[in-house]
Amino acid sequence: MPSEDEPLFSTKNWTWLAVAVLLGALFVFLPPIAAEQDTLYRAFTPLVVIKAHIQKRYVEEISDEELVEGAVRGMLRALDPYSSYLSPKEYPVFVEQMAGGYVGIGVQFDARANRLLVTSPLENSPAYAAGVRAGDEIIEISGSAVKFANILKDSERLRGVEGSVAHFKVRRPPGGETIEFAVRRERIRTRSVSGFRRRADTTWDFMIDPEHRIGYMRISGFWDNTLEDLDAAAAELSSRDVQGLIVDVRFNPGGELSVAGEVVDRFISEGVIVKTRNRREIEDTLFARSENTWPSWPVVVLVNRASASAAEILAGALQDHKRATIVGERTVGKGSVQTVITLEDELSALRLTTAYYYLPSDRLIHRRRDGSNDSDWGIPPDEVVELSEEEIEAVWKSWMESGIIQNSDAGQAQKSILIDRQIQRALEILRDPS
């Protein structure tokens, strides 16, 4: 550890200074504007000086790699909440999430109450086939006890290389029977589309009101496999002569712009879906196509204060085209485009905000940091229906319980989601379209 008498600019710190010099040297190859180069040097000097003070005086050793990563994350936090650095550990997880899948045994967890509980095995997963049940408490993984202090890290140990075997032990209520499992890991396809209730065969029933033939689809994210699942749900509803549709994007954080555009394209056959505009005012416009358009069912889209990004594009585009009635609360106002830039090591990436979304009517979804559009951001619903915190908690509980897959011998019926006041209003609109 450096002593108090060590020079501020030691050999290691000269390395950092060289980094700053190299950054400045990049501008030599650009049009030689001396003022800009001088500004760059002065801008990066504090970084080198602060690092030198840390190296000399900080109470513990810290590596250059940790400091560089911290500096990078700090720079990005200064931009907006959505730009971020994806480390070599985070980047593969991000790629898996965007693809709508991962390699593992296929279980959903609840890590609360100091325990690692299985809330549900995923449909058609290795865990389900092996007999893992909702309510099982995982107490041991690969011979090591699950500890609360490392509970999330412990759960990650169930993921791994495709084809490898995960060994774990569960405690099963009500009697506390201990069961050991050896489950082969597979690529798990997560679903972002769910219905009103689970059937006995674990598939979703998308008909919420059989009498009035009203369908219901909840979209939890816009990933690579979302459109396929939506098309399958629409085909099923069409075969049952559906006469109206509720699309629920409450608590939907967004996803891929291209997927959101394809979903909007299912509802409209022509016109603008969304526009993006960067800092140079260069515009890119996504248009609807006539093929693959679903029947013109009456539609209600449910949104709330946690509907963001791609969910706002769906709701806003259908609102602008007068293709749907929007019910709920004003949305987040996250209308910015993040471009993922793979860095030179090809192991990490930069997720950088590069443009804003604009709706067909040229409305800006995004809520600007400078407050310049504080009265006009997000998607304002056509009909405002606000839920209390207690009602929201009940909605979450019903979603979780309806998603639980009971094994065939568990002897419990599948549950429907709660018809809360926002869903109830959507049903009223579709039952009486006049």
Active site residue 320: yes
Count how many residues are written for the chain: 434
What single-letter amino acid sits at 207?
M
Q: Give exposure, 218-237, as e/b (b: 16+ Cβ within 10 Å).
A: bbbbbbbbbbebbbebbebb
- Detail the DSSP E strand segments found in 236-318: 244-248, 272-277, 283-287, 299-303
* Helix axis angle, 257-267 to 226-239, nearest 10°: 20
> Sign of dihedral through CA atoms 221, 222, 223, 226?
positive
d(CA 226, CA 327): 22
d(CA 193, CA 237): 14
Per annotation, catalytic residue among 334, 336, 348, 402: 334
Per annotation, catalytic residue among 83, 194, 307, 309: 309
Element (H, E) at 46: helix 34-57
Is residue 345 within 8 Å of residue 88, measured between CB atoms?
Answer: yes
d(CA 262, CA 264): 5
3-state secondary structure of 355: strand
- Show Cβ contacts of residue 182 under 8 Å, excluding neighbours closer than 6 positions: 165, 166, 167
* Helix axis angle, 34-57 to 64-77, nearest 10°: 130
Phi-psi sector, 100: left (phi>0), alpha (psi -120 to 50), beta: left
Active site residue 309: yes
Q: How buried is 430 (Cβ within 10 angstroms: 0-12 exposed, 13-18 middle, 19+ buried)?
A: buried
How crowded is residue 14: how many other Cβ atoms within 10 Å of its Cβ?
13
End-to-end CA distance of the chain: 77
The alpha carbons of the chain give a radius of gyration, in whole angstroms, of: 26
Per annotation, catalytic residue among 320, 336, 348, 402: 320
d(CA 242, CA 237): 5
Active site residue 415: no
Active site residues: 309, 320, 334
